[in-house]
Amino acid sequence: MGDAPTDKFSAGEQGLGYIYQARLALLHLLQLPEDTAVFLEKDDDLDFVDGDGGKSLASLKHKAVGDSLTDLSTDFWKSVNIWLVRYKREGRSASNLRFFLFTTGVVSTGSFLTHLLPDQSTASEEATTLVELAEKALGKSKSKLIGEIAKKFNELSAAEKQDFLERILILDSSPRIGDIPALIKDKHMRSIRREHREFVFERLEGWWNDAVIKQLTGAKAEGIFGFEVSDKLSAYAEEYKSDNLPIMFRGKVPPGEIDTENDPRLFVMQLREIGISSNRIRSAIMDYYRAFEQRSTWARENLLVSGEIEEYEDRLADEWGRYRDVAFEDLNMDSAEDALLEAGKTLYNWAEFETGKIESLRIRARVTESYVIRGSFHILADTVPDPRVYWHPRFLDRLGDLLGVVK
């Protein structure tokens, strides 16, 4: 399959580079000690700072398939240009800097850059030193750009040149952007059941991208630490245990405007019928939205056991029926409307504020998020044509009139 034509004004490659930068940072932070912090777009594409204050600057190059690095590749020398500035600024040989070039390309056989690959010798006692190899390569170039970099390099002493070059490590054949999710799932999520790893990764990357944005916009001044990633991954993993479920809609609000006065849904009509305030109805609408969307997500991700939602709703409806009998016990056919409203509010207040304390009403033992229970009661109150729960003692009798149909 041939490559698609490339528009010279397209920002696709640049955009891909930014996504690659964030993904590769996450992958490597998972592989490093937890007290390591990463910064994006500070002194280089990525800055890794270890617990002792040592800093590693990393340049990233996401290249076309089959691309290679040669003696005079601008990808390498542009990175050298950045590193030379940092090296001189930080005290040259007294600095605690290391330099990495992550590239999806491959270093060409015969290039002096092979000496900068892992497990290669860069010692100054070699017959032909690394400095001599670099200077020989630079001498071949007629590029103005590389010529300017060579001038900066030659401002170093011979010992500093060797020291500088020995700090460089090229990691070629680095994973491509599409390969990184699988690497993270396969190597860092083994404690998570295979069928859940995709969803855990999506949530981890969503959190990670938010953290990256906060750093790049200045909302988060410090680096992102490895232990933050470990803690977040551990928290997500716990949510996928057999006695738990992930909570994804905390703080979410439904799209569009919330109209507490004219919302036609049955559960909202029920709340208006017992005189619940507009602010509390607004909260109920949000609970309904969060619970409905949450349950849909659980079902979509196949996290629920067959019949689990139905059994859960049966438990809620049964408990509601028991408390309804208590709340309505003193009412009779002649009870005044004020008494009916009071009994309805008592029942609703129990559902809103007390049921979250009852462990047997949790869908699973460790799912304690209040909107799950509250919203589920509203879902039951919205069942058409006959709601499974109601608040006003006479609601079922009035349902036909409220809906504008003959029951």
Q: Which of 187, 200, 183 is nearest to 303 (CA)?
A: 200
Strand 224-225 relative to strand 106-107, pairing:
unpaired
Question: Beta partners for 20?
Answer: none
Q: How many CB atoms lie within 10 A of CB 83?
A: 22
CATH number of 12-175: 3.40.1350
pTM above 0.85, yes or no: no
In degrees, to the nearest 5, what angle opens at C-alpha 272 toward C-alphas 266 and 275?
150
Q: Which residues contact 186 (CB under 8 A, 6 or more apart)?
A: none
Provide the residue-wise pLDDT of the chain in tens; the chain has 407 residues. Answer: 334 445 544 445 566 878 999 999 999 999 999 999 999 999 999 999 999 999 999 999 999 999 999 999 999 999 999 999 999 999 999 999 999 999 999 999 999 999 999 987 655 555 578 999 999 999 998 999 999 999 999 999 999 999 999 999 999 999 999 999 999 999 999 989 999 999 999 999 999 999 999 999 999 999 999 999 999 999 999 999 999 999 999 999 999 999 999 999 999 999 999 999 999 999 999 999 999 999 999 999 999 999 999 999 999 999 999 999 999 999 999 999 999 999 999 999 999 999 999 999 999 999 999 999 999 999 999 998 899 999 999 999 988 776 664 33
Q: How many CB atoms lie within 10 A of CB 34?
A: 15
Q: Domain residues of the chain, as ranges?
A: 12-175, 178-239, 266-403
In degrees, to the nearest 5, what angle opens at C-alpha 214 toward C-alphas 212 and 216?
70
E strand intervals along 276-384:
none
Q: What is the spatial distance between Cα 155 and Cα 239, in angstroms, rounded to a whole number?
A: 56
Instruction: Output the CA–CA distances (angstroms, integers) from residue 292 to 171, 231, 254, 259, 390, in the order listed.
Output: 47, 28, 11, 18, 18
